[in-house]
Structure 1
Amino acid sequence: MKRYFVYYSVVFLLMTSFIVPHSLAQQPIPQTEVTIFTPTPEISSLGRISELRTKRKELEEKLVRLTDLTSFSKEHAEIVADFTSIEERLKFMQETDTYGFGHVIELRGKIWLTGEKLKRFNDGISARFEEIKSIQKSWQNEEKIWIDIEKVPVDESETETNRKFLEESKLLLSSALQAIKNNLPAVVKFQSDASDLLNRSQNLLIELDTLFKKVRGEMFRKNAPVMFSGHYVKEFDMALFTSVIDHFFNIDLFDSQFFAVYGWLPVLQVILVFVLVFLIRKKRETTRHQEFWELLTLRPWSSSIFIAMVSFVPIFSSLPSSWRLLFWILASITTIRIMTVHLSEHWQKRLVILILTPFIISLVLRVIELPAPLFRLYIVAVALIGFPLSFRLASSIKHAEEPKFIYIRLLHLGGIILLLVFLAQVIGFSVLANHLFDSTVKSVFLFLFGYMLVQFAKRGIVLFFTIPYLHTIAAVEHHKEIISQRVVFILRIIVVTIVCVVFVNIWGFYDSPLQAWHSISALGISIGQQKVTLGLVFFASFILLATFYTSHATQSILADEVFPRKQIEPGLGVSINRLVHYSLIIIGFFWFISILGFNLQNVAIIGGALGIGIGFGLQNIVSNFVSGLVLLIERPVKVGDVVVVNETWGEILKLGLRSTVIATFDRSEIIIPNSDLITNQVVNWTRLNRSARLKIPVGVAYGSDVSKVMSILLDIARQHGLTLPEPVPKVHFLGFGDSSLNFELWLWLSDLSNRIPVRTEILTEIDARFEQEGIVIPFPQRDIHIKSVPEKQKSPTDKTDGLDKMIDVENKELN
């Protein structure tokens, strides 16, 4: 009751609040003086002054927090020290001419790492600056509010109180704004320092770009003395060996700057390695005879390190020399160990070892900064040994049972490159020789690395499909082979793209793989105002391929998962799948066009013009296409139907947009244009269901017992196992033939495909029963009439001897 009382009270108050003002509005307003009531500032500003006091106290705490720049000072000092170190290193390289591709790339990596630290520093300072400016703006708005309050007229009795409030607010506001103003310059100074450091970083990159271009230019110029000359021999003095020792003990293997930024990634890689080794060893006994586990179980540590390295490679944008050395050494060792298991022939294993071993040694020598004379001597020794070994190994492959021509050609190419390295190093083209050697070995390793990546991906996909849950999904279980092939195909495209981009970077065409990708993907042609680049074509083609794969996956899921649960008949399911396929392909095509940058409105105009041309020139194709759509939507026939077209029996195998494929009972296939199925008469025996009536004509001799014949025929039809009980079999007495009494046996079958076998079995049984009951099946009778011709009527041209005869033969067949 209380609840209803409250409801009625609320409704009553609302009604009175609505009616009373309207009733008052209808009454005339008396012409009397109206006094405007203004709330006193004491009422409105008392709470506001309290808020202002609290806000002022909070401001002090915020300013203490925001102006504590101790961490920024330390970080700023570290960034300045890093840039100073890079500048000194660059200056030393320029003064001593001891630089190459590796040195420039290493400095680029250090600048990038310092730039990442500078970016975090700048973001932090900018965030504090914006917060202080926001606080300053808030206090300025508060000051405007109090100025408006001061302008409001008040009663004289309350003037003193309001004046005190206003004076206090002015003091609070001025002190707050002054505090903000005093603390802001320190943050602004750090922001200015960050901007200067950014300019410093850009200048360093410009200098490195200039130096990199200089390295490329000096590649084809003589930049070292001829080996085994007097000038070259003089370089081997005590200072040379002293520098070797100094460089060896001054190697910065830890690189604290890199570890401070990316220290968590190596830790995760180590954890991942131990986890993978544990899982592989745990699975070793249960998967010993499975092929896809072979690489993992025989080389668990190498496989785990390989997977951990590949998993985190995209995160490392640039590596310092020590970490890059560790990466290449681990990658080379793991590749050698894994490849020796995967490769079946002994010469292939030797080839991998011969290629990667000198590469690892050269990396170590570069990290310890081996002086140029000694490093040149090492390169000459490797080239001098590798040149004959390459051709010897190629000749040994030629004598094998199955020569690998591609390996032979690659070995010949490698031998020629080593010969060029040897000659270039001897005559003084040191930069060119070093670049050829490094680029060749790194390229071979890159291809091996990509090959191993694809192999691991294949085994990973096979391993993925062993998950028990996936076996419960019919679409995945039935099509896992196709899914595996398509995933591997996409992975191969990605790996080949990455290998190609890194390959052009290795040979010095671009400074980094990212720059190589941007430059290559920007290549293209201009069509009108639109430029179609290689990157757009690659991405659009990938989208189109993904659309095809999505279409096939959707059809498989519908056919294997959805249609069986919804009890959709196969023919309808095929029609739905075809419509889904064409819809997705059309969407993918328009997506492909839009990615390339073409306006869909222009495409529609071009399509309209083509449509007019197609309408006149390709009428039959358009007619068949439209008829195909009608067949898919209207479904007068469907896949699996037994039809009769032009007196030809067959079963529909495929309904396409242009034609329909019909498989005849003679195991031949007929391709019929869709327009013929729409415009011509087609007999569909299985449109509603697959049951069919079988009619068997039977003839017996005159004088046979008609009732007995009908009874035998009905008995034979009922006893056959494939005859439907409903509708019941029937026998009809058709009439009197020329030589027989004609009957027709009607019976119904559940499946039209059994018509021929059942007809054969029924006729065989009828023949046996009639013979057993003494009922005769007549055969056609022929009467031959011979008429004599008088001698005088005989034609003189008739050359036959004896009596000529005129034969009148009348064939009488029983139907």
Structure 2
Amino acid sequence: MRPLLFIFYCLIFTLVCSPCWSAQENNGTAAGAVSEQTSTPSSEAADASPQATVFPGVSEVVSRLATLNNNTASTSTQLDEITALEQTKDNLDKVMERQKTLDQRLKELGDPEQWSFERLLETRSVLVGQLGNLKAIFETLSTKLTTLDNLRNQWQQRKIFWVEWKAYLTKENTEFPAAEFDRADEKIAALLKQIADASGKLIAVQQQVVLIQDGNEATVRHIDTALKNLRSQIFKKTARSFASSTFYAQFNTELNQQVKDNFNLVQWYRTSYLHDYWWVTVMQLILALVLAVNLRKHRKKDDASQWNILFRHPWAAGLFVAFATLSPLYKAPPLAWTFYLLVISVIAASILVAGIVPERRHAMLVWLLAFIYLISMFLQVIGLPLPFLRLYLVVLSLIGIPLLARMCLLSRRNKDSWQLIIGQRIGIIVLTISLIAQLGGYSTLSLRLVDSAIKTVFVLLMVYMVMRLTQGGIDYLLGHPWVQSWKFFKIFGSRLARRINHFIVGALFIYGMLYTVQIWGGSDSVTTTWLAVKDFGVTVGEVELTLSTVIMVVMIMYLAFSLSWFMRSLFDVEIVGPRYMDSGLRDSLKTLLHYIIISCGLLLTLGSLGIGLQSFAVIAGALGIGIGFGLQNIVNNFVSGLILLFERPIKLGDRIILDGEWAIVRKIGLRSTVIETYNQAEIIVPNSQLISEKVTNLTHSNSRARITIDVGVAYGEDIERVLAILKEEAKNNPTVLKYPEPSPLFVAFGASSLDFKLRIWLENFDQSLDVKSDLSVAIYKRFDQEGISIPFPQRDLHLRSVSDNVWEKWRGPKTPVNSEPAFPVENDHQANTDNQQAETEQQEGDSGMRPGDTTEIDTEQTGEKG
């Protein structure tokens, strides 16, 4: 018992004391770590650790002070770099200069509530750009201030370390060089002061930036309020009606002076903006010049392609392409600068569109719309006072309504396109509503309606021109002789152009729709419009279908299918994979690659919809239940399709016999296989049938084929001569293989002939029918030359009844029944049989059969030679 009690007490003692031992061991490890950390003279971690309980000895004071001096110097250099604000100051000076000009401009324009809609959008765009520049400067300063705060914390920790180290040595009554500690304290204090001074400078600049930001944001809010008020006043009466005398009293000298003042306020030439974006203008001019020169150089007189209009108007085409593609590089352009860009783009587009339309009156309509659009934009740029602007819209409506009505009548009479007729009718309706609204005092509604309608028309024209030019450019590029020298582009160039065109048309359609929404919604840019509408959608369960999500899904799936088609096309032209790869294997790889790419696209689509892979567990369960109830055949065909792709018992292009039908394998799909019979009828065969049932594959391992030609010659011919002729004719045919060599055989003594078979081998099964026909013709001609006859079966005819008229013309008067037969017979038995038949026929004639009734002929093969 004592040994057991001793062991029991030992276990209890171990359990009680083990936590204490663990704590002591952990403390010892921590102390060792601190000791090891502080034992290195160059360690910055020990200096920065005020929580350390073990300080180094006196021997390390000098070395640590030297390290402190080095760190102080490096930090001072870093502070100089941080406080070097040359680039930031340059940017800030530019921003401040722009801000000064902007403030002066805002002061000249006065209250935003009195501005036009276009001027509000222009000023807001400039302010937003200015806020972006200020934000960039503010973020740069914030990053530097964060760096200074980190440096301040580090050096404060070092200062605390030296102070506590000095106190520790004093407490331990250890002699130490106090001057070294004082020097360290002075260096750290000086560096902390330098950090504080740098922070103060950055904070002062940051406060200045924040002050400007606050002012600009307040102005933006004021402009947003003015825009909101204008939008809310669209369906409100905002002016006097034309029937009121007050309206006409507005036209006085003060109104004329206001026109002059507004015109003078327009910044027709802003040096600062041109200084910032001169490179865009230079790029536009260079691009326009290069395009125009090249189009003139390659001009073709009889070109009927979509590029014909470009060759006829090279300068207009060059300017349109240059300004349409590079104008988005201008950020927040002034209203006058926007007007300059519009003048060039609209005139160039009008020249091109007028050259495309089929009739002169259509070209006149295009130029009329261009003129009205530019006049309207010019009046908005100069800020024409509202009374004059209302008169302009009334005159425009009074002239435009009958003009469009006349053009619409001519279009209906000449059976123009329905789009043009509908557009003209919409124009009549818009001008009519505008006229009624202006006469009634709803000036805001009239202004927005006409302005938005005109802009929408030109947006559609611009999109149409860009779409047409892009499509023509792609067709021209892919049809170039150098590009056509590549096998892929020669075969699939048209399909590739069509897919690229579809993608471009979709992108232009989305951009045109966003631009149209911007025009009618009164937004300041397409980006702002997109940010406003991209989250519009519905929520279905846990999936949120927004506009951006739908566009993303469509784009992913279209790119997935396009990529799949592109890769499969590369396989078709043997660019991907070895050139000696079997066509069936190549087709299998194409199909598998198609499934992989589409599956990846589907996964990306589900990810963009927010559907995780864990949701597939539910789908898999539902699919299992569906398979158990009624989808066995579908799954069976799917798995069979995979077996066909991997095992390849049949492959694309194989010649097979299925249900007695000769056919060619055209496509192996996921569920079924398409085979084409020799009469070009397509049969859809489930994949499971090709796996579970017997299928004769004539070209599975090779395309060789053996064909047999049956030949019969008359009795008495030389058999050996016939065999030699058959073999010679087979060898003379270049399609027949030399090995295995042709094999003529004598097979049987036939009823009418000596029967032979000629067996030959062909390299390609597709040649069998042609070769068999050619050899049969050659054998027949050779037999004819050699005097070898080909027999045909002999027949004896027995006439049961014949018309009396025919009988008399052929044999004379008809013989009595009991007389000798008109035809010789082989024996008496045959004669008796014929007599009995004649008596029977005579009885039938007595019973009503008349001459001229149908004659029955009984044939019997005799086996005699011809």
Q: Which of the residues 175, 187, 192 maps onto 2:207?
A: 192
Q: Is the contact made by 1:787 and 1:807 (CA closer than 8 Å) also made in structure 2?
A: no
Equivalent residue, structure 2, for 1:436: 449
1:61–1:420 Cα change, 3 Å: closer
Pair 1:145–1:554, CA change in 2 (3 A): farther
Which residue does the alignment assign to 1:209? 224
Alignment-derived partner of residue 40 in structure 2: none
Equivalent residue number for residue 185 of structure 2: 170
**Structure 1 partner of 2:633:** 620
Within 2, Cα distance between the matches of 1:112 and 1:41?
59
Match of 1:291 in 2: 305
Q: Are residues 369 and 602 of structure 1, via their aligned partners in 2, closer, same or farther at CA, if it must alter by over 3 Å?
A: same
Q: Which moved more, 1:126-135 or 1:329-338?
A: 126-135
CA distance in structure 1 between the aligned counterparts of 2:157 and 2:85, rounded to whole angstroms? 21
Note closer, same or farther for the CA distance 1:68–1:248 as it changes in structure 2 (3 Å cut).
closer
Number of the residue aligned with 2:67: 48
Rounded Cα–Cα distance in structure 2 between residues aligned with 1:497 and 1:420 = 29
Structure 1 residues 768 and 597, CA, compared in 2 at 3 Å: closer, same or farther? same
**Matching residue of 1:659:** 672
Quote the offset at 1:561 in angstroms.
Answer: 3.6
State the alpha-carbon separation in 1 of the partners of residues 619 and 841 from structure 2.
80
Matches within 5 A, 1:111-150: 111-143=127-159, 146=162, 150=166
Give the whole-Å Cα distance in 1 for the aligned partners of 2:143 and 2:291.
42
* Correspondence 1:550 to 2:563: yes
Alpha-carbon distance in 1 for matches of 2:263, 2:472: 42
**Structure 1 residue 752 corresponds to structure 2 residue 803:** no
Assess if the C-alpha contact under 8 Å between 1:66 and 1:128 holds in 2.
Answer: no
Name the SS of the counterpart of 1:40 in structure 2. helix
The question of whether the paired residues in 2 share the 8 Å contact of 1:287 and 1:293 is answered with: no
Q: Are 1:635 and 2:651 counterparts?
A: no
TM-score by length of 2: 0.81
Write out per-residue CA displacement over residues 525-550 of structure 1, whole angstroms, 9 at most, x where no aligned residue: 21222211122112101110111111
One-letter code of the match for 2:609? L
C-alpha distance in 1, partners of 2:555/2:83? 55
After TM superposition, give the deviation of residue 215 of structure 1 in Å: 0.9
2:357 to 326, 335, 343: 343
How far off is 1:74 after superposition? 4.1
The answer (yes or no) to whether the contact 1:86–1:110 under 8 Å persists in 2 is no
Q: 1:690 to 1:429 in 2, by over 3 A?
A: same
Asked if 1 retains the 8 angstrom alpha-carbon contact of 2:656 and 2:665, the reply is yes
Residues 1:110 and 2:110 aligned together: no
After superposition, the Cα gap between the structure-2 partners of 1:693 and 1:183, relative to the gap in structure 1 and judged at 3 Å, is closer
Q: How far is 1:53 from its partner?
A: 6.0
Q: Please name the residue that 1:232 is paired with.
A: 247
State the partner residue of 1:5. Answer: none
Residue type at the aligned position of 1:651: I
Contact 2:708–2:760 (CA under 8 A) maintained in structure 1:
yes
Superposed, 1:215-294 pairs within 5 Å as 215-227=230-242, 229-256=244-271, 258-259=273-274, 262-281=277-296, 283-285=297-299, 289=303, 291-294=305-308
Matches within 5 A, 1:348-747: 348-400=362-414, 402-465=415-478, 470-508=483-521, 510=523, 512-562=525-575, 565-747=578-760
Q: Between Structure 1 and Structure 2, how many residues are aligned?
A: 770
> Quick one: structure 1 residues 153 and 728, their matched pair in 2 at CA, closer, same or farther if it must change by over 3 Å?
farther
Q: Residue 105 of structure 1 aligns to which amino acid in structure 2?
A: L
- 1:471: Cα distance to partner? 3.4
1:293-332 equivalence runs, <5 A: 293-316=307-330, 318-332=332-346
User: How many Å apart are 1:454 and its aligned residue?
Assistant: 0.6
Offset, 1:467: 5.7
Partner of 1:24: none
Contact 2:92 2:137 in 1 (8 A): no
Shift of 1:779: 3.7
Compared CA separation, residues 297 and 767, structure 1 to 2 (3 A): closer
Identity between Structure 1 and Structure 2 (%): 29
* 8 Å CA contact retained: 1:524, 1:533: yes
CA distance in 1, matches of 2:210, 2:427: 50
Q: Secondary structure at the match of 2:573?
A: helix
Distance change in 2, residues 1:305/1:228 (3 Å): farther
- Quote how far apart the aligned CAs of 1:99 are: 3.1
Relative to structure 1, the CA distance from residue 266 to residue 119 in structure 2 (aligned partners, 3 Å threshold; closer, same or farther) is: farther
Cα displacement (A) at 1:570: 2.4
Distance 1:712 1:274, change over 3 A: closer
- Distance in 2, Cα, partners of 1:288 & 1:68: 58
1:621 is displaced (CA, Å) by 3.2
Between the aligned partners of 2:87 and 2:524, the Cα distance in structure 1 is 41
| Deviation for aligned residue 1:679 | 2.0
Q: Do the aligned partners of 1:386 and 1:418 also contact (CA within 8 Å) in 2? A: yes
Q: Which residue in the other structure is 2:806 paired with?
A: none
The 3 A distance-change label for structure 1 pair 234 and 489 is same
Deviation at 1:647, TM superposition (A): 1.7
325-334 or 483-492, larger mean C-alpha shift: 325-334
- Distance change in 2, residues 1:75/1:135 (3 Å): farther
In structure 2, the CA distance between the partners of 1:800 and 1:292, relative to structure 1 (3 Å rule), is closer
Q: Deviations over 1:716-769 (max 9, x none)?
A: 222222211101111233344444443321111122122122222222333333
**CA deviation string 1:609-652 (max 9, x = no partner):** 13431453243333333222222221111222221112221222
> For residues 683 and 168 of structure 1, what CA distance do their matches in structure 2 show?
101
Q: Which residue pairs with 2:348 in the alignment?
A: 334
8 Å Cα contact 1:714/1:730 also seen in 2:
yes
The TM-score normalised by the length of structure 1 is 0.85
Counterpart amino acid of 2:340?
L
CA offsets 1:586-619 (integer angstroms, 9 cap, x no match): 2222222221112232234224413431453243
Moved more, 536-545 or 308-317: 308-317
Deviation string 1:433-490 (CA, Å, 9 cap, x unpaired) is 1111111111111111111111121122134325665334321232111111111111
Distance 1:250 1:795 in 2: 131
Instruction: Report the CA distance between 1:808 and its aligned residue.
Output: 10
- CA deviation string 1:132-175 (max 9, x = no partner): 33443443354356457657879x99956x43332222111111
Post-superposition shift, 1:69?
Answer: 8.1
- The farther-off stretch of 664-673 and 386-395 is 664-673
Cα gap change, 1:67 to 1:624, in 2 (>3 Å): closer
Q: Deviations over 1:505-541 (max 9, x none)?
A: 2123655433432343322221222211122112101
Partners of 2:125 and 2:524 within 8 A in 1: no
Stretches of 4+ aligned residues off by more than 6 angstroms: 36-39, 151-154, 782-785, 789-798, 805-808, 810-814
Q: Judge conservation of contact 2:706–2:760 (CA < 8 Å) in 1.
A: yes
Q: CA shift at 1:288, angstroms? A: 7.8
Contact 2:83 2:198 in 1 (8 A): no
For 2:301 and 2:66, the matched residues in 1 are separated by 77
Which amino acid is 1:93 matched to?
Answer: P
CA RMSD, 1 decimal = 3.6
Change (3 A) 1:723 1:490: same
Give the Å deviation of 1:697.
Answer: 2.4
Q: Between Structure 1 and Structure 2, whose CA radius of gyration is higher?
A: 2
**Unaligned 5+ residue runs, structure 1?**
1-35
Partner letter of residue 574 of structure 1?
D
Alignment check: 8 A CA contact 2:65 2:184 kept: no
